[in-house]
Amino acid sequence: MPETHTDFAGRIAAEAYWEDDTLADPAWRKVFDAVPRSAFAPDDWFEWNGYGWDARHRADNEQDWDEAVHAVTQPFITQVGDDNMPTCSLSAPMLVAAMLGTLDLDDGMRVFESGTGTGWTAALMAARVGPAGLVVTVEYDPELAGIAVENWHSSGVWDGLALVAFVGDGESGRPALAPFDRVSATHSVRRIPAAWIAQTRPGGLVCAPLKIGQPDLDLYVQLRVGEDGTAEGRVRFPVDFMASRTSRPPAPAKQAEDEKRCSVTDWNLPAVVAAKEAWPSRIAVPGLNVTGPLVEDGDDCMWLSLPDGSWAVAYVPQGAPWKDATVEQHGPQDVWSLAEDAWARWEAADRPGINEYGLSVGRDETHTLWCRTPDNVVAVLN
Ligand SMILES: C[S@@+](CC[C@H](N)C(=O)[O-])C[C@H]1O[C@@H](n2cnc3c(N)ncnc32)[C@H](O)[C@@H]1O
């Protein structure tokens, strides 16, 4: 028997991404019950088969569609691009709850969203701020924006709510409808766009996933906008979001071909840079690109690189412990050493949690990552 939507909200609450308690709030519980995810899920979707994305169709298997729509920990992929990477999804419900919770929404607020997709999160926010509020959402892909509007209409959530969609680059905000109390992004950004800070009233919040490295490390930050056009706040949780369609990473410099600098490391390298838990070293080395561990020519290898052309490889005979791996470093910076030093500093600082890190965005758009207090700078993003 299909579950009721109330059961769905309860399961999201039980999953509680990063100990999130958004759905303990009766106002949000009511909203998640009133705005069903299923009303925003197209009949065609995509599922990972271990190598690529399979197109799935509701008409072929209604039960699979229903299970995918009601999976609380998984995104429902609605679009895959030419490079076989997802370009739109209904984000994982437990993550949506956590993101919406950080916005600290209240009745009557004006909210700007970048990344409408098929319209679910915008509808949830509109239901939360109520008829006296406003949600303005911008979607890069015109087809998706059209689907979102149809979904608001057909699901009935549009009745009585102020919810508008535009096609364009959400990174520009919507100056004509500013100021906003809140800005929310459902795609990652490489920098917090100046337009979002400028279009948020002093005291308002900008909440967004900040892409810090590859693969899969975005810092979901909650920034309070100051009177002086700056913004500052904490990292709330790590995520892995689709990247903004308009701020792709700059093409990395050609990898340096200078003489290698060799050393032997006694670190457990995958734990320090490759594992999900490796964020302490990756926060402190922005732009770090990690590949591996891979098996190459009978060795276990890991590759690291930076956008400036620095790169390094570490290897051990296949199956041997990573301790005593040989490391070769090239280019302007010793990238392995940077990662290892960052990890050592994190350990020396009593292993601060990810919520103890924060971001300050200056009037000149400088992005400074810090730990515990803004004067304890960990990295500056240029
Ligand atoms: C994870 S999906 C949307 C999630 C959605 N809001 C939901 O209801 O779950 C991210 C969306 O951001 C859109 N997007 C990416 N970059 C964008 C940009 N610069 N401006 C506007 N939309 C963008 C993508 O096209 C995609 O639809």
pLDDT in tens, 212-241: 877 678 999 999 999 999 999 999 999 989
**The Cα angle at residue 125 between residues 115 and 166, in degrees rounded to 5:** 40
Tell me the per-residue pLDDT of 119-162, one tens digit each, with 9 for 90 and over: 999 999 999 999 999 999 999 999 999 999 999 999 999 888 99
Between CA 340 and CA 282 the distance in angstroms is 10
Write the CATH number for 98: 3.40.50.150
In a domain, 269, yes or no: yes
Distance, CA of 118 to CA of 147 (rounded, Å)? 6
Q: What value does the mean pLDDT of the chain take?
A: 93
How many whole angstroms separate alpha carbon 133 and alpha carbon 122? 12
CB 15 within 8 A of CB 71: no
Mean pLDDT across 11-37: 94
**Ligand 1 closest atom vs CA 91:** 9
Which residues are 208's β-sheet partners? 221
Q: Residue 254 — very low, low, confident or very high, per pLDDT cuts 50/70/90?
A: confident
Question: In which region does residue 323 sit, left (phi positive, over 0), alpha (psi from -120 to 50) or beta (all else)?
Answer: beta
d(CA 221, CA 238): 9
Cα separations (Å) of 196 from 126, 200, 291, 319, 369? 19, 6, 33, 49, 19
Cα 330 from Cα 257, distance rounded (Å): 7
% of residues, the chain, pLDDT over 90: 79
CA separation for the pair 205, 222 (Å, rounded): 7
Assess contact for 46 and 56: CB atoms under 8 A.
yes
Active site residue 281: no
pLDDT grade, residue 271 (50/70/90)? confident
Q: Does residue 222 share a domain with residue 89?
A: yes
285 with 191, same domain: the answer is no
User: Of the ranges 203-207, 299-303, 372-376, which one carries the lowest mean pLDDT score?
Assistant: 299-303
Mutation pick for ligand 1 pocket among 38, 124, 186 (CB with most ligand atoms within 8 Å) = 186
Residue, of 309 and 272, whose pLDDT is higher: 309
Pick from 2-6, 19-23, 137-141, 187-191: least confident: 2-6
Domain match, 278 and 179 both: no
Answer whether residue 53 is part of any domain: yes
Pair 142, 204 in one domain: yes
| Ligand 1 interacting residues, C-beta cut-off 6 A | 87-91, 114-117, 120-121, 138-141, 144, 169-171, 186-187, 242, 244-246
Domain match, 282 and 226 both: no
pLDDT band at residue 5 using 50, 70 and 90 as cut-offs? low
- CA 248 – ligand 1 centroid, Å: 14
Neighbours of 62 (CB within 10 A): 11
Confidence of residue 1 (pLDDT cuts 50, 70, 90): very low
Amino acid code (one letter) for 224: R
- CA-closest candidate to residue 379, choices 288, 249, 259: 288
Q: How far is the centre of ligand 1, averaged over its atoms, from the C-alpha of 39 (Å)?
A: 18
Q: Please count the other Cβ atoms lying within 10 Å of the Cβ belonging to residue 141.
A: 16
**229 and 294: one domain?**
no
Q: Are 255 and 305 in contact (CB under 8 A)?
A: yes
In a domain, 355, yes or no: no
Q: Which of 239, 274, 298 is where one domain is finished?
A: 239
In the chain, count H helices and then E strands.
10, 19
How many Cβ atoms from other residues are within 10 Å of residue 6's Cβ?
Answer: 11
Instruction: Name every residue whose Cβ is closer than 8 Å to that of residue 324 and which is 6 or more positions away in sequence.
Output: 264, 265, 266, 316
157 lies in the same domain as 293: no
Domain assignment present for residue 69? The answer is yes
Whole-angstrom Cα distance, residue 280 to residue 274? 11
Of 166-180, 215-229, 250-264, 280-294, highest mean pLDDT: 166-180
Calculate how far, in angstroms, residue 142's C-alpha sits from the geometric centre of ligand 1: 11
The verdict on residue 379 lying in a domain is no
Q: Which domain holds residue 119?
A: 5-239
Strand partners, 262: 328
> In angstroms, how far is CA 177 from the centroid of its own chain?
25
Lowest-confidence region among 142-146, 204-208, 279-283, 366-370: 279-283
For residue 274, what pLDDT is reported? 77
- Torsion angles phi and psi, residue 211, rounded to 5: -75, 125
Which of 139, 172, 196 for mutating ligand 1's site (highest number of atoms within 8 Å of CB)?
139
| In-domain check, residue 371 | no
Q: Between the CA atoms of 239, 242, 245 and 250, what dihedral angle is there, to the nearest 10 degrees? A: 60
227 with 343, same domain: the answer is: no
Are 35 and 102 within one domain? yes
Q: Last residue of a domain, which of 239, 273, 293?
A: 239
Catalytic residue among 89, 91, 184, 360: 91
- Reply yes or no on whether the pLDDT at 251 is more than 80: no
Calculate how far, in angstroms, residue 172's C-alpha sits from the geometric centre of ligand 1.
14
Phi-psi region of 285 (alpha: psi -120 to 50; beta: other; left: phi over 0): beta
Least reliable range by pLDDT among 82-86, 116-120, 236-240, 331-335: 82-86
Whether residue 271 is found in the same domain as residue 225: no
Number of domains composing the chain: 2
Domain contains 255? no
Which atom of ligand 1 is closest in space to residue 117's alpha carbon? Answer: 27
| 167 and 97 share one domain | yes
pLDDT of residue 191: 95
Tell me, yes or no, whether 275 lies in a domain: yes
- 33 and 175 in a single domain? The answer is yes
- Residue 307 near residue 243 (C-beta atoms within 8 A): no
